[in-house]
Chain A
């Protein structure tokens, strides 16, 4: 059974600071996704990481994937209040045909 763990579960940070969210998973995968969810809203796709060493950046967010370590990171640079949301990683079991297992989410609060 695939397990996906995120840490921290909750993160309160000041504007302008940097931080990293970690996503560990327990079995082989070749696709990892990051989503953002605002309170009461649905999930918005942020990044799709498809191979070992993949790195993608959008604005103040950068995601990377290490399939050997079964680890993905979401790095936040110079946080701003608008980044406050819950961030989920989701992993697709290799060969299972597009079945996502989500982590528990990291609730990010950026304080002015």
Chain B
């Protein structure tokens, strides 16, 4: 069974530029999560989708971050414009909407903003 797929794996951009990350969850998983992991820290949830609906985006900096999951499968996370402090690893995870809701993580996208 294929795992969570993310691309690109690495991205280097200059500040004020836009950037987008893509995630394809495990087949059949209707819940999708985006996390940000700063160096030396645990992941922090940015947004959670149940199918197409964003059910929790309270931690998403809405002034510059946006996300979408149009058909309830793939998802895109966008930053515009990027700031130096956005440098981090962006992780996508997916789970079934069923107890115990175990989340499976993708390899992540390492973003460096210069």
Question: Which positions in A face B, CB cutoff 8 Å?
Answer: 4, 31, 33, 35, 41-45, 48, 50, 88, 90, 92, 97-105
Contact = CB atoms under 8 A, between A and B. Distances in A.
B41 A105 contact: yes
Contacts of B93: 43
Interface stretch (B14-22, B67-75, B76-84, B100-108): B100-108
Contact of A43 (B43, B45, B48): B43
Given A42-B106, A48-B102, A50-B100, A99 B42 contact: no
B91 A98 contact: no
Interface residues of B, number: 23
B43 A102 contact: yes
A97 B105 CA distance: 18
Interface of B: 31, 40-45, 48, 55-56, 91, 93, 95, 97, 100-108
Contacts of B106: 42
A97 B102 contact: no
